[in-house]
Amino acid sequence: MESQNSHLESVYALYQDMIKKGFTLIYEGEVNHQITKTFTSMADENMEKVSEDDSVRKKVYHVMVECLQNICKHAEDGDQSDTAFSGNGIFIVGRDDNAYHVISGNQVDYEQKEKIKTSLDFVNSLDKDKLKELYFKKLKEGSISEKGGAGLGFIDMVKKTGHKLEYHFDALTDGNYFFILKSTISRNK
């Protein structure tokens, strides 16, 4: 029973931490369009309640939608018989004195991991002007994918927040990976 106790302790520690920081939303489960709408409007209402700056609110909202839609859309790429792939993930929005942090986690396969890594490294290597240039170039020349994405999510997240995207891949025993993405939105301009 020891392991269960320590599990409970860590939940309590998390709870205490959440209370201290004043603002944390956590979601775990299937991510679909309805959840995206519900979660983002809940977070937005929370920010409104604490009179968060409008521009910060909009940026956080934007990042949340792009992250959640990434999980919805790309979950279908994986093995459908595996429930971990069918749009499941974790999603956390937290705040400290200086910034909001939007963290998402979902399972991807090797091929997806390589694609995501290449795209993130590239986007992270660009400065503000280059990001803007790439965004509008893709807007003009690109097209909507079968999954309904424009391939602009990561570019837009870095462009709007001014922060590089942090990421991590945890290797799972079945050869797949758990992809964690973190975006930061500063509160003080």
Partner 1 sequence: MDAIKLKGTEDTPAVTFDAGANIFELSGKSMPENVAAFYSPILAWIEEYGKKPNAETVVSFKLEYFNTASSKMIMDIMSKFEDICNNGANVKMKWHYLEVDEDMLEAGEGYSEIVDVPFEMISY
What is each CA distance from 97 to 94, 116, 152, in whole angstroms? 10, 30, 29
CB-wise, 94 or 151, nearer to partner 1? 151
Nearer to partner 1, 157 or 177 (CB): 157
- Of 27, 39, 135, 179, the one binding partner 1 (CB under 8 A) is 135
Instruction: For residue 152, state whether it binds partner 1 (rule: CB under 8 A).
Output: yes
Q: Closest Cα to residue 99, out of 65, 64, 52?
A: 52
Does 173 interact with partner 1 (rule: CB under 8 A)? no
We find the least distance from the C-beta atom of residue 60 to partner 1, in angstroms, to be: 12
Nearer to partner 1, 33 or 115 (CB): 33
Q: Tokens 């429930």 — which residue? A: 83
Largest CA distance in the chain: 59
Element (H, E) at 62: helix 54-74
Task: Say whether residue 86 binds partner 1 (CB under 8 A).
Answer: no
Distances in Å between the Cα of 43 and the Cα atoms of 1, 93, 128, 131, 148 are: 36, 8, 27, 27, 24
Query: With respect to partner 1, which residue has the nearer C-beta, 135 or 179?
Result: 135
- The set of residues, in sequence order, having a beta carbon less than 8 Å from that of 146 and lying 6+ positions away, is none
The 31-60 contact track toward partner 1, x by CB under 8 A, reads --x--xx---x------------xx--xx-
> What is d(CA 92, CA 146) in angstroms, rounded to the nearest whole number?
28
**Which x/- pattern over 98-117 shows residues binding partner 1 (rule: CB under 8 A)?**
--------------------
CB closer to partner 1 out of 128 and 168: 128
Check if the beta carbon of residue 182 is closer than 8 Å to that of residue 164.
no
Residues of this chain that bind partner 1 (CB under 8 A): 33, 36-37, 41, 54-55, 58-59, 61-62, 65-66, 69, 132, 135-136, 139-140, 142-144, 148-150, 152-153, 155-156, 160
